[in-house]
Amino acid sequence: MTKLTSTRVLPNLVLCLCLGLLTPSAFAQGELRFCLRSEPKTFDPLQVEDDASVAIRYLTGGTLVRMNRQSQVLEPELAQSWKVSKDGKQITFKLRSGISFSDGTPFSAEDVAYTVQRLMDPSLHSPTGDAFRSGPGKVDTKILSASQISITFPAPVAGLDRQFDQVALISQHSPKKEMAVLGPFMVADYKPGATVLLKRNPNYWKTDEQGRKLPYLDSIRLDIQPNRDIEMLRFKRNEIDLINSLDSEYFDKLASGSPQLVHDAGASLDSEQMWFNQVAKAPLPGYKKAWFRSTAFRRAISDAINRDDLARVVFRGHAQPALGPFSPANRFWFDAKLKPPVYSPDASLKALQREGFHLDNGTLKDAGGNVVVFSIITNSGNKYRERMATMIQEDLQKIGIQVNVVTLDFPSLLERMTQTFDYEAILLGLSNVGLDPNEEMNVWLSSSENHQWNPQEKTPETAWEAEIDRLMRLQSASSDPKKRKEAFDRVQEIVVEQAPFIFLVNRNALSASSSSVHGLSPVILAPQTYWNAERLSVGVIEAQSRP
Amino acid sequence: MLGRKIARHGVAIIGTALLGGLLSATMVRLAPGFDTDEAQIDSHLNSESLRALRESRSQQNNILVFYLQSLKRASQGDLGSSLTLHQPVSKLLRERAPLTLRLIGVALLLSWGAAMTLALSAAFLRLYSYDALATVISGILLCLPAAVVGLLSVLWNTPAALAVAALVFPRDFRYARNLLGRAYSLPHIITARAKGLHELRILFWHVIPVAGPQLLALAGVSVSLAIGAAIPIEALCGLAGVGQLAWQAALARDLPLLVNITVLVTLVTLLANTAADLIGSMVGSQPA
Amino acid sequence: MKIWRRVACAVLLLVVGVSLCATFVAPAGYARQYREAADAPPSRQHWLGTDDIGRDRFARVLYGTRLSLLLAPAAALLSTLMAAVIGGLAGYLGGMFQRAAMTVTDLFLSLPWLFLLITVRALLPLNVSPLVSVLATFLILGMLGWTSAARVLCASAACLRDSDFLRQARASGIPGARLFWIHVLPNLKPVLLAQFWVSIPVFILSEANLGILGLGVAEPMPSWGSLLKELEGLVSVGEEPWKFVPLILLVAVVTSFQLIVSKQEEEFAV
């Protein structure tokens, strides 16, 4: 692969050097190839919801601000500067001038206004737009000049400026509509089920420190390949250049032969967790509902799970036992006061006995003599979750609890989880893209549909849920980062105390890249490997820098 | 006479395919998870967006109404739009059908070529060790999971048609070997061979008329076996064919896409089996 | 020739015998997790190494053999009987009955059965015992797997329908049902045997695939199908040949059965 790229680009370079005409475009560097795990559902950046479309939006979309995935600091992009009002309702951007979309259409404040209005159109039902919707009412956009715009929301939006990291701007006037982009690459070709080809955006505005035009790469080829084994096979054969999210067993296999190809960036934001069904109307026997709604029962189960073993065996050591709702990788929002979970089946059994449970011939029974048995469902095809569930099955067997592991296809699982509530416990993962707790409002508010253990409570059914509601609203309404942090720290502590979610592990961000890819600096935040895609190159720069 | 027979079969084929479409739509609708969407657990979506998401699916709740409306639209050349890929179904099928047809065609040629060669030579030679070898080869292929065959195909850089053929071949071989073995054991064929009649004459004049109709029926069935094998292979090897589309549609409960694919598969299956029946009845009616 | 059959018999006896003695040969059991030795290569303690969460692979192969060797042939027998009755009767009776039966068969061949299986899983309670789950799975497989054979059998029976010996039998007043059982079905034996032997490995593999729908053998019980799924990580399996043992065992058992039975097939055919 390296060879192919070199033979294509090198003659151009030699010619340019001979002529002394080293133009910025001569640094265009080859093609980067990697896999998308699913078909992108849309190229419209405002309607993006699936991972594949998010990846394409990241590579093609131009944003006003961008969070640096390495430093976790918000940096200016198409906005030179910005200011958030004290009440957290208004943001004013000062835009860069002289910038054009990929098709040559000039970029102005009108496009920002158009993008925001379309994004906030209630009929669009955009997840990106919904993140800004903190209260009823219309969003007001005011163009102050060709390069200045202020946007006013009807209610305060916590972390308002950070939310714009996800908003890729579209053109109001371009005939190509959303296919005209401001990001480093643009969609050049799409073969459904096979590939998406991105070409460098000739009008991209950024240059590097030496004044060379970015991006370095000519193109990015994204092959649609859901099968991880085949992705690995193609990587080994140099048919793709990187694997953005690598399985831990493949990590070790690659590392044993070529350690320079793999990267472990440490614990990511993603967590694996299980929870019990606490829905009052769930079609479960009353005694089971009583177990699941008991804090002592949930805490006892949590204490009886050996998280160190889950991290060590299932993820081959490439995961960390989870401490709470947020991973320590979220540097600002993680509550450092949380203590690591302690595996203690004896303490767990004692706690259960205090609640009236007792062991009878090695089988745990409740005060009413009911055998403690429940099922854990997880989505099929995810071998890590299947293995975790099987290990939890054995852990709980030690305190006399019988667990049945059931794998279901995702739509069936979703129906049980969100509509029929016909389940006892679920083991799933949560992918955190954003750092701000405000992005999880719909998980923690008891009235929300995504309050998984007991959705859409008319009023909070427990005192601790009422307290979480209060704290989440408090942090959301405040623009003082310190106050917000205090409130969310308390939320994290309540969640650990009450264990509505039993957090299991935080997976490490593992990736692999071919030695011909340069400029890589894998991080824990998505997209782990190509977050700096505009500065990546394949093959030639390295070759040139060598004597 | 033949024209009327073909016309009668044609009507039956269309009727059965339409019934297949209705049945598949009903099965998809009744299966759990029909009106769910992965986006439902996106914590960014507010309650209004979630409601809209559910309503978009519930439009297809009355399966008979949905199917009749789909048929009406289909009669005007509109096959509807995929719920997940947001593209017209007719466009998706048009783009992807050639690849799958080519894949299945080549796979059938390969599997039938191999199965018939091995089965004929085994029945003709009647050598136990040769038969045992053929049995072991087909046994190994029969025991390999489709996913492993697909992975091997990628690993060894072989054409996907070979992988599909490897999945269809052992089934074809087993039936063909038994059918031909039985035909070659018939008393009049043993007598003919003993009298030194030319092998080709025995094959075409005595064996084919006896085993022909069953072999043709097997050929018809092979088409649906090949379609079934093409689905995992296309999905694994990243081939943008109808099989991959069917796989995606099934995982996402994409009703419009699934119904159209079922009708298409039923049509192909029926055409293959009807053709086999018609030819079989002609072969079978010849004097043995 | 006799040696091949003797070898086949010995292989079968060995596999069945050892799997029946699993409790003594592999006392660790199939569920115990040796977490300190997960994904370990073969050793004196674990003859075939351990799986991803440290369970002894040898024990799992033996216990899986018991289950799969019992249930897969049972399901294959069911599908073969259904094919014989539906396909054989359709071909024998001919006319409208044949057309209707073959239309149903064609529909069966084309429908997306995945959704029926998903619905069946939804009807079963979540806390169903692994044995009930696996029995239901093989029952469904048996009931859905008859179609291909039915078509071929129908063609075979249709040929027999007009044969001289059946005409003579009919003329001598033998009742239709007796004719079908005594004269037609035995003549369909080559196809029935093929269907039976093809179905066994197919059902074993299908059972593993149905695991993704929550059907099949539930954890921690092993089956050949679930053991064969390890091969899907083929990129690494190449470096760990002991993971091929379940596949080799399945091939050995299926081939041995076929080698033994091919004698009967020949005897019958002659």
Q: What's the pLDDT tens digit per position in C172-218?
A: 888 888 888 888 888 888 888 888 888 888 888 888 777 667 677 88
The predicted pLDDT at position A504 comes to 97
CA distance A305 to A317: 16
State the average pLDDT over residues A266-273: 92
State the average pLDDT over residues A300-317: 97
Residue type for C237, please? V
Chain C residues with beta carbon closer than 8 angstroms to that of B250: 112, 114-115
Residue type for A521, please? S
Q: In terms of residue numbers, what domain contains B87? A: 2-285
Confidence of residue C263 (pLDDT cuts 50, 70, 90): low
Residue C121 sits at the chain A interface (C-beta within 8 Å): yes
CA distance B109 to C35: 49
CA distance A215 to A203: 10
3-state SS class at C21: coil
Place of tokens 């309702």: A89
Average pLDDT, chain C: 84
A501: tokens are 């979610």
Residue A335: name the closest of A323, A353, A318 by CA: A323
How far is C-alpha C228 from the chain's CA centre? 14
The predicted pLDDT at position B60 comes to 65
The predicted pLDDT at position C25 comes to 86
Q: What is the dihedral of CA B255, B256, B259, B264, to 10 degrees?
A: -140
The predicted pLDDT at position A24 comes to 40
Give percent above pLDDT 70 in chain A: 93
CB contact under 8 A, A450 and B43: yes
SS3 content of chain B, % helix, strand, coil (to 5): 80, 0, 20
State the average pLDDT over residues C100-114: 85
Residue B228: name the closest of C205, A499, A495 by CA: C205
State the average pLDDT over residues B77-98: 88
Find out whether the peptide bond into A527 is cis, omega within 30 degrees of 0.
yes
Residue C123 sits at the chain A interface (C-beta within 8 Å): no
Residue A102: name the closest of A219, A39, A25, A187 by CA: A187
Confidence of residue C133 (pLDDT cuts 50, 70, 90): confident
Q: Which pLDDT tens digit goes with each residue over C26-41?
A: 887 899 999 999 999 9
User: Can you give the CATH number for the domain in which B133 is found?
Assistant: 1.10.3720.10
Does residue B286 register a pLDDT over 50?
no
Residue C249 sits at the chain B interface (C-beta within 8 Å): no
Residue B257: name the closest of B53, B90, B73, B27 by CA: B90
Residue C163 sits at the chain A interface (C-beta within 8 Å): no
Q: Which pLDDT tens digit goes with each residue over B123-170?
A: 877 777 788 788 888 888 888 888 888 888 888 889 999 999 999 999
Give percent above pLDDT 90 in chain A: 72
The predicted pLDDT at position C244 comes to 87
| Sign for the pseudo-dihedral over CA of A152, A154, A155, A157 | negative
If you compute the radius of gyration of chain C from its CA atoms, what whole number of angstroms results? 22
CB contact under 8 A, C258 and B182: no
Higher pLDDT, A201 or C2: A201
- C211 phi and psi angles, rounded to 5 deg: -55, -30
Residue A398 sits at the chain C interface (C-beta within 8 Å): no
Cβ atoms of A59 and A267 closer than 8 Å:
no
Q: Length of chain C, please?
A: 270
Does residue A503 register a pLDDT over 90?
yes
The predicted pLDDT at position B59 comes to 64
Residue A194 sits at the chain B interface (C-beta within 8 Å): yes
State the average pLDDT over residues B228-253: 87
A12: tokens are 């151009």
Which chain B residue's Cα is nearest to C109? Answer: B224
DSSP state of C233: -
Does residue C1 register a pLDDT over 70?
no
CA distance C233 to B145: 12
Q: What is the dihedral of CA C53, C54, C57, C58, to 10 degrees?
A: -160
A494: tokens are 């309540």
If you compute the radius of gyration of chain B from its CA atoms, what whole number of angstroms results? 23
CB contact under 8 A, A192 and B237: no
Chain B residues with beta carbon closer than 8 angstroms to that of C259: 132, 135
Residue type for A63, please? T
Higher pLDDT, A275 or B228: A275
Confidence of residue B62 (pLDDT cuts 50, 70, 90): confident
3-state SS class at A264: strand
CA distance B87 to B78: 12
3-state SS class at A337: coil
Measured between CB atoms, which of A41, A125, A416 is closest to B53? A125
The predicted pLDDT at position A402 comes to 94
CA distance A246 to chain C (A): 14
Looking from the CA of A17 toward its CB, the CA atoms found within 13 Å total 8
Does residue A449 register a pLDDT over 60?
yes
Residue A73: burial class (beta carbons within 10 Å; 0-12, 13-18, 19+)? exposed
Does residue B175 register a pLDDT over 80?
yes
Residue C122 sits at the chain A interface (C-beta within 8 Å): yes
The predicted pLDDT at position B138 comes to 87
Q: Which pLDDT tens digit goes with each residue over B200-226?
A: 888 888 888 888 888 888 898 899 889
How far is C-alpha A290 from the chain's CA centre? 34
Return the number of other C-beta atoms located less than 10 Å from residue A23's C-beta.
Answer: 10
Number of domains into which chain B is organized: 1
Q: Which pLDDT tens digit goes with each residue over A512-521?
A: 999 999 999 9
Interface of C with B in 116-175 (CB under 8 A): 116, 118-119, 121-122, 147-149, 151-152, 154-156, 158-159
CB contact under 8 A, A373 and C54: no
Write out the DSSP string of A339-379.
Answer: PPP---HHHHHHHHHHTT-EEETTEEE-TT--B-EEEEEEE
DSSP state of C55: B
DSSP state of A531: T
How far is C-alpha A168 from the chain's CA centre? 17
Looking from the CA of B41 toward its CB, the CA atoms found within 13 Å total 18
3-state SS class at A145: strand
SS3 content of chain C, % helix, strand, coil (to 5): 75, 0, 20
CA distance B53 to chain C (A): 22
State the average pLDDT over residues A250-271: 92
CA distance C81 to chain A (A): 31
Average pLDDT, chain A: 89
A236, A263, A513, A529, C40 from A258: Cα distances, Å: 11, 11, 11, 18, 21
Does residue A257 register a pLDDT over 90?
no
CA distance A86 to C184: 90
Find out whether the peptide bond into C220 is cis, omega within 30 degrees of 0.
yes
CA distance A423 to C34: 30
If you compute the radius of gyration of chain A from its CA atoms, what whole number of angstroms results? 26
Cβ atoms of A135 and B54 closer than 8 Å:
no
Residue B65: burial class (beta carbons within 10 Å; 0-12, 13-18, 19+)? exposed
Cβ atoms of A114 and A177 closer than 8 Å:
no
Cβ atoms of B163 and B150 closer than 8 Å:
yes
Cβ atoms of A427 and A378 closer than 8 Å:
yes
Whether complex ipTM tops 0.90: no
Cβ atoms of C234 and B152 closer than 8 Å:
yes
CB contact under 8 A, A407 and C239: no
